């Protein structure tokens, strides 16, 4: 993976996440709005009341999945991400964006939504313009499991749905966490070597599964909030029990295997190297990808 690709991938929202991020992991659109860290916020206007929110347009794959799961009849427009295109549940819905391009505002307005949900930091301009056009919007940013639960409850309230079944799924996912887990470092790119600290969706995920993230407390200069640059020396010094390499479609693992330091690590010498899908660990992507990551982390 080149640093240039990573900049386009993570720079999409690195804060949105949920979050903070949606599609084919091999393409830039894969790093969609939820690409990383996310919390939940609203734009200038107050959100519509439950009684009036009957038509929603979503601009991120995660919020699309959440809304559809809460009440499938509420969705009228979705983003054009591959993670959704591969899901037949969304086949008949209007697509209002393509890849990393700005959403089609005319198409969104024509759908007459009561609410448009986008990613904070990525869709700010589009949401502001929609507000000017009289459309109520919500900007979201998912930085961890607490914000995911809060977001789910807020969206359920907006449409008058019961959030408990989804909250139960989250609890079931987290219940898979073992009491004791190995120390680990997650690598999401090679040039530079980037790893999540505790201020990211990935970092919170590791903490929830009692995995000792050896870069959790590191701070430093990095283009992306919640991610730090790790030197080869730092990797060799911390020497984690397990290395978690994120699969972004760029064959990062094969690239890392060619570096001189790789064979000196305890994890590589003991074959304790695991690959995780970009969706789920870096970009939440969808409910299914989050649950799949729970399964993988529970097996470390």
What are the chain's domains?
A: 40-174 (3.40.50.1980), 183-298 (3.40.50.1980)
- Give mean pLDDT, residues 74-90: 94
Q: For residue 94, is the peptide bond before it cis, meaning its omega torsion is within 30 degrees of 0?
A: no
Segment 86-102, tens digit of pLDDT = 899 999 999 999 877 89
pTM to 2 decimals?
A: 0.83
The continuous run of DSSP H or E covering 53 comes out as: none
Q: Is the pLDDT of residue 14 over 80?
A: no
222-247 burial code (b ≥16 CB/10 A, e <16): bebbbbbbbeeebbeebebbbbbbbb
pLDDT at 31: 41
| CA angle, residues 278, 142, 210, in degrees to nearest 5 | 70
Confidence of residue 15 (pLDDT cuts 50, 70, 90): very low
Segment 193-245, tens digit of pLDDT = 999 999 999 999 999 999 999 999 998 777 788 999 999 999 999 999 999 99
Q: Is the pLDDT of residue 6 over 90?
A: no
Confidence of residue 52 (pLDDT cuts 50, 70, 90): low
> How many H helices and E strands in the chain?
13, 12
Confidence of residue 128 (pLDDT cuts 50, 70, 90): very high
Confidence of residue 77 (pLDDT cuts 50, 70, 90): very high
Q: Please answer whether residues 32 and 23 qualify as being in contact, where contact means their C-beta atoms are separated by less than 8 angstroms.
A: yes
pLDDT at 82: 86
Q: What are phi and psi of 193, to 5 degrees?
A: -75, 115
Q: Higher pLDDT residue, 218 or 46?
A: 218
137-140 β-sheet, strand order: 40-42, 137-140, 115-119, 56-58, 75-78, 94-95
What percent of the chain clears pLDDT 90, i.e. is strictly above it? 74
- Give mean pLDDT, residues 120-127: 94
pLDDT at 249: 86
Segment 102-113, tens digit of pLDDT = 999 999 999 999
């Amino acid at each position: 993976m080149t640093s240039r690709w990573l900049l386009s991938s993570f720079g999409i929202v690195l804060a949105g996440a949920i979050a903070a991020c949606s599609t084919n992991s091999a393409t830039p659109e894969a790093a969609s709005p939820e690409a990383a860290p996310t919390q939940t916020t609203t734009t200038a206007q107050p959100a519509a009341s439950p009684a009036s929110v009957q038509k929603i347009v979503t601009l991120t794959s995660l919020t699309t999945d959440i809304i559809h799961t809460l009440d499938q009849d509420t969705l009228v427009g979705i983003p054009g991400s591959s993670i959704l295109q591969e899901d037949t549940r969304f086949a008949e819905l209007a697509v209002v964006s393509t890849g990393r391009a700005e959403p089609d505002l005319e198409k969104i307005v024509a759908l007459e939504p009561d609410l448009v949900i986008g990613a904070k930091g990525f869709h700010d301009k589009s949401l502001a313009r929609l507000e000017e056009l009289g459309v109520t919007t919500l900007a979201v940013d998912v930085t961890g499991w607490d914000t995911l639960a809060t977001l789910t409850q807020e969206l359920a309230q907006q449409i008058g749905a019961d959030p408990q079944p989804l909250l139960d799924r989250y609890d079931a996912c987290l219940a898979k966490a073992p009491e004791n887990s190995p120390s680990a470092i997650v690598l999401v790119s090679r040039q530079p070597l980037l790893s999540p600290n505790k201020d990211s969706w990935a970092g919170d995920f590791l903490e929830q599964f009692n995995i000792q993230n050896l870069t959790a407390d590191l701070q430093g200069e990095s283009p992306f909030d919640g991610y730090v640059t790790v030197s080869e020396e730092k990797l060799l010094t911390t020497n984690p029990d397990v290395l978690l390499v994120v699969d972004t479609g760029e064959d990062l693992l094969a690239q890392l295997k060619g570096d001189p330091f790789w064979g000196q690590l305890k994890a590589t010498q003991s074959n304790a190297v695991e690959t995780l899908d970009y969706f789920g660990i870096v970009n939440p992507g969808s409910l299914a990808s989050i649950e799949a990551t729970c399964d993988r982390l529970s097996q470390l």
